[in-house]
């Protein structure tokens, strides 16, 4: 009995899958309905990480200071306050952001404020996304590990 390798239905299915992949890749590369950026506005990377905690200013939520007191304190974390505002409501959003910042600072937290147009409730996130300079400052309080003594230098 002679068995011929590569002549089964699996090979045919593999070939068809590869052909379908190549057709889809070609069609997607030529698609015109992808969102375009306005010329002259370069994309900027956000220095944010995944939050370890999220608080929203909604009815029934605990006060921000109380919520922060229940979160583990870490000098590498930063509290980011996002205060969105509707047209004409910028001054109220700034005032709310200031209140929330004072509550966070009372808990000895580093705060970043963002006030921008939007329709949602104010949101506070807690995460490890401090800029490098702040991160280095927060780590200075941790004692550095001393290398083991190797004896006198030769």
The confidence score (pLDDT) of residue 127 equals 86
The confidence score (pLDDT) of residue 20 equals 92
Domain with 98, as residue range(s), is 74-139
Q: Note the pLDDT tens digit of each residue in 25-63.
A: 888 888 776 566 556 555 554 556 778 888 998 889 899
Cα separation, 22 vs 35, in Å, equals 23
Structural domain count of the chain: 1
Q: Is the pTM of this model over 0.95?
A: no
Residue 35 counted as domain residue: no
Residue 102 counted as domain residue: yes
Residue 99 counted as domain residue: yes
Residue 112 counted as domain residue: yes
Residue 82 counted as domain residue: yes
104: pLDDT strictly greater than 60: yes
If DSSP codes are grouped into helix, strand and coil, which group holds residue 113? Answer: strand
* pLDDT band with cut points at 50, 70 and 90 for residue 4: low
The confidence score (pLDDT) of residue 98 equals 92
Residue 80 counted as domain residue: yes
Among 43-47, 135-139, 143-147, where is mean pLDDT lowest? 143-147
């Amino acid at each position: 009995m002679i068995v011929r390798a590569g002549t089964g239905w699996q090979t045919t299915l593999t070939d068809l899958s590869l052909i379908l992949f190549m057709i889809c890749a070609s069609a997607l590369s030529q698609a015109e309905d992808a969102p375009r950026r306005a010329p002259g506005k370069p994309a900027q990377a956000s220095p944010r990480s995944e939050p370890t905690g999220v608080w929203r200013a909604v009815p029934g939520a605990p006060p921000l200071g109380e919520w922060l007191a229940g979160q583990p304190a870490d000098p590498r974390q930063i509290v980011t306050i996002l205060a969105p505002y509707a047209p004409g409501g910028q001054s109220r959003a700034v005032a709310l952001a200031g209140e929330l910042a004072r509550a966070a600072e009372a808990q000895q937290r580093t705060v970043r404020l963002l006030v921008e147009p939007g329709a949602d409730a104010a949101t506070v996130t807690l995460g490890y996304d401090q800029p490098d300079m702040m991160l280095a400052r927060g780590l200075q309080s941790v004692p550095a590990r001393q290398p083991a003594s190797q004896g006198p230098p030769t």
